[in-house]
């Protein structure tokens, strides 16, 4: 019987913060999110391929970290809600901000962007995780789904 137990896979869930809560950046607006996006997206990524990233936040909207959920081609990337949920749960986040770049420089959300946003919101809602915003990032600026009232 002991052999069977030792041969089973084990899942261990650990979250270790590198900063105390008081020293974490607070996100209270789309511009706060965009400032973090500028830190995690390099210019060569912004114009090369689409990268879908997630900012993870605690109850006080303190920034816990970010996760690259998907890396795609020039004009699209496929997003798996399960990977996003996994990262958020592992970080003990209660909310998140979605973001991805448009290498073309176009700040207007596509229908695919809107569908992906709705899909992620619905999936995370089952886990009581709130999506606060979705930003489209380019070299010239950003578009906020929340600011535009389409979130």
pTM of this structure: 0.86
> What region, left, alpha or beta, does residue 69 occupy, with left being phi > 0 and alpha being psi -120 to 50 degrees?
alpha
For the chain, what percent of residues have pLDDT higher than 70? 86
First to last CA, the chain: 53
List, for residues 90-119, the tens digit of each pLDDT value.
889 999 999 999 998 899 999 999 999 999
For the chain, what percent of residues have pLDDT higher than 90? 60
> Is residue 1 pLDDT above 80, yes or no?
no
Structure tokens given for 33: 């999110």
Which CATH architecture best describes the domain 25-144? 3-Layer(aba) Sandwich (3.40)
List, for residues 119-144, the tens digit of each pLDDT value.
999 999 999 999 999 999 998 999 99
User: What ranges do the domains of the chain cover?
Assistant: 25-144
Distance in angstroms (rounded) separating the CA atoms of residues 40 and 147 = 21
Q: Which residues partner with 65 through β-bridges?
A: 56
List, for residues 33-74, the tens digit of each pLDDT value.
999 999 888 878 888 888 999 999 999 999 998 989 998 887
Pure H helices in 26-109: 30-40, 43-46, 81-90
- Among 76, 86, 22, residue whose Cα is nearest residue 56: 86
pLDDT at 82: 94
């Amino acid at each position: 019987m002991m052999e069977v137990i030792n041969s089973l896979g084990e899942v261990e869930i650990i979250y270790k913060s590198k900063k105390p809560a008081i020293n974490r950046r607070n996100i209270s607006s789309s511009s706060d999110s965009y400032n973090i996006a500028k830190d995690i997206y390099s210019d060569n990524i912004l114009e090369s391929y689409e990268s879908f990233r997630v900012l993870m936040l605690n109850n006080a909207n303190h920034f816990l970290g970010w996760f690259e959920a998907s890396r795609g081609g020039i004009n699209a990337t496929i997003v798996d809600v399960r990977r996003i949920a996994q990262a958020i749960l592992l970080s003990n986040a209660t909310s998140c901000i979605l973001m991805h770049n448009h290498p073309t420089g176009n700040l207007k959300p596509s229908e695919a962007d809107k569908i992906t946003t709705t899909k992620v919101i619905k999936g995370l809602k089952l886990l009581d995780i709130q999506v606060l915003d979705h930003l489209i990032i380019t070299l010239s600026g950003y578009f906020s789904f929340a600011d535009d009232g389409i979130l």
